Structure 1
Amino acid sequence: MKQKLPDSLVDFDHPDFGTLFQLECEITERAGGTLALEYDVPHMLRDCIDDVIMTAKTGRRSYEELEKTEKTYIGTRVEIELRALLRLRKGRLDTVILGHDVDIKHTMGSNWMIPTEAVDQPCILVAADEPRARCYLGLIVARPDYLTQGQNKDAKRSISAEGFRQIVWLLKDHPYPANFWRTAPEQAVARIFEGESGNARIAALFRELQRQPIPRDVVEAVAHQKDFMRRIRSDGGHGTRDILAKEGLLILEGRKDAQLIRALNLPHCSASEFISARPANASEAKLAQSAGHPLDPTFFSEE
């Protein structure tokens, strides 16, 4: 999406103000309020994208690796998920809100393609900027004057420069969860996926990316095996936790080890996240041992 978007011209004097204001209020209320909207829509977008990438099954790690048809499907998935999130029913177009037929358009690029049946109708505009991890949610009545003159082979037209000024933004340049692999150093990612076994790859994951929460689905993707959780647990001296304990490294679970995570001043982890860390000193190592995480004592000297 364009990083510099014009301010909206939609105010009390705008011909579409009444319609757009009512739709904005209804969408926000259905979402559970502004804060819920700001949380749920970004996380919904992350899930829609990651569920199509399917790293655990395909080994792919980015949107750019998707096939054209898969990229198109993300738009369909966003439409379905947004309708479910807001508890909206299907209509003549994508949905109906307050008696208005409303189209839902999604893009991973810088514009939306408006079909002929949506011209002069309200549209919900959704955008995800994957490289920058920013998202957008807007409303527009797709008047012909707000669309480009040119059209594609399906007679769809995009929003013109003037049209961008007619958008009411509910989310504008708003952060959403970044693709995990975009946040990791490239060399570290390469070393993680060099491992020939699930244990080796998971050990590399927690060795390379210490002191940061790692989601469960990332661990599954790296293991690329059934029963991937077994690889994390102690497993008769052969599990990932056993391997890293010999190196003085802890693997902690957000739910089970919440108290120890706080005691070691590590970042907060949700119940479905893990984190690895090396205790800073012998006292922290003893604290970990008392919590059921024994480490090789040779890595820690007495204070």
Structure 2
Amino acid sequence: MKQKLPDSLVLPGHPDFAVLSGLAEEITARAGGALALEYDVPQMLRQCIDDVIMTPKTGRRAYEELEKTEKTYIGTRVEIDLRALLKLRKGRLDTEILGRDVDIKHTMGSNWMIPTEALDCACLLVAADEVRARCYLGLVIARPGYLTAGQNKDAKRSISAEGFRHILWLLKDQPYPANFWRTADEAAVEQIFAGATGNVRMAQLFRLIRGRPIPRDVVEAVAQQKDFMRRIRADGGHGTRDILAREQIVLLEGQKDAQLIKALELPPCPASAFVSCRVESGYHARMVEQSRHHVEWPTP
């Protein structure tokens, strides 16, 4: 998506203000409020994209590696999941809100393609910028004057530069969970996936990427096995925890070790995620040892 978007002209007095503001209020209410919308839509987009990349099964780690048909399917997934999130029913177009037909358009690029059947109808615009990990959610009435003169072979037209000024934004340049592999050191990623076994790859993951929460789906992608959680357990001296322990690296779980994670001054770790750190000696080493016996300690 374009990094510099014009300010919206959809204010009181604008011909589309009454319709779009009413739709925006309904969407926000259905989401459970503005804060819920800001959280749930970004999470939904991350899940939709990752479910198509399917790293654990395909070994692919980025949107750019997808086939053209798969990229198109992400738009379909977003439409379906957004309807489910907002508890909307299917309409003549993609959905119906407050008795109005609304088309849902999604893009991973910088614009949306508007079909002829959506002309003069409300469109719910969704965009995900994988490079910057930013997302957008807006509403526009697809008036011919807001669209480009040119069209593609399907007679679809995109929103013109002037048309962008007539979008009412619900989310604009909103952060969403970044693709883990895009933000990891490239050399480290290559070393991780070069491992011949699940235990070797898992040990490399937590050895090379320490002090950063690692989501459960990343663990699954690295293990490349059905029982992927087994790879992060101690296993008679051969498991990931055993290997890391010999290197004085402790592997912690977001839910089980929340208190220890905080005491070690590590970043907040979601309940289903994991984080590793090197603990060599002193106060922190004693805390780790005490935690194994369920002993509480003061925060330093």
TM over 0.5: yes
SS of alignment partner, residue 207 of structure 1? helix
Question: Which residue number in structure 2 is paired with residue 69 of structure 1?
Answer: 69
Question: Which residue number in structure 2 is paired with residue 297 of structure 1?
Answer: none
CA contact (8 A) 2:249 2:278 kept: yes
SS of alignment partner, residue 244 of structure 1? helix
- C-alpha displacement of 1:280: 5.2
Question: Which residue number in structure 2 is paired with residue 202 of structure 1?
Answer: 202
In 1, the alpha carbon distance for the partners of 2:261 and 2:7 equals 44
Q: Deviations over 1:254-284 (max 9, x none)?
A: 1111111112111111110000001253321
Question: Which residue number in structure 1 is paired with residue 5 of structure 2?
Answer: 5
Question: Which residue number in structure 2 is paired with residue 159 of structure 1?
Answer: 159
Letter matched to residue 274 of structure 1: F
- C-alpha displacement of 1:66: 0.3
Structure 1 runs, 4 residues or longer, greater than 2 Å off = 280-283
Question: Which residue number in structure 1 is paired with residue 176 of structure 2?
Answer: 176
Q: Give the stretch that moved more between structures: 273-282 or 118-127.
A: 273-282
In 1, the alpha carbon distance for the partners of 2:132 and 2:83 equals 25
Question: Which residue number in structure 1 is paired with residue 28 of structure 2?
Answer: 28
Letter matched to residue 6 of structure 1: P
CA contact (8 A) 2:248 2:280 kept: no
- C-alpha displacement of 1:286: 2.2
CA contact (8 A) 1:264 1:279 kept: no
TM-score normalised to structure 2 length: 0.96
Query: Percent same amino acid at aligned positions?
Result: 75
Unaligned runs of 5+ in 2: 294-300
- C-alpha displacement of 1:292: 2.1
Unaligned runs of 5+ in 1: 294-303
In 1, the alpha carbon distance for the partners of 2:160 and 2:287 equals 61
Q: Give the stretch that moved more between structures: 60-69 or 255-264.
A: 255-264
SS of alignment partner, residue 199 of structure 1? helix
- C-alpha displacement of 1:120: 0.3
In 1, the alpha carbon distance for the partners of 2:112 and 2:85 equals 21
Letter matched to residue 86 of structure 2: L
- Alpha-carbon RMSD across the aligned residues, in angstroms, is 0.9
Aligned residues: 293
In 1, the alpha carbon distance for the partners of 2:216 and 2:176 equals 18
Q: Deviations over 1:23-82 (max 9, x none)?
A: 010001111111110010011000000000000110000000000000000000000010
SS of alignment partner, residue 126 of structure 1? strand
In 2, the alpha carbon distance for the partners of 1:283 and 1:33 equals 44
Question: Which residue number in structure 1 is paired with residue 89 of structure 2?
Answer: 89
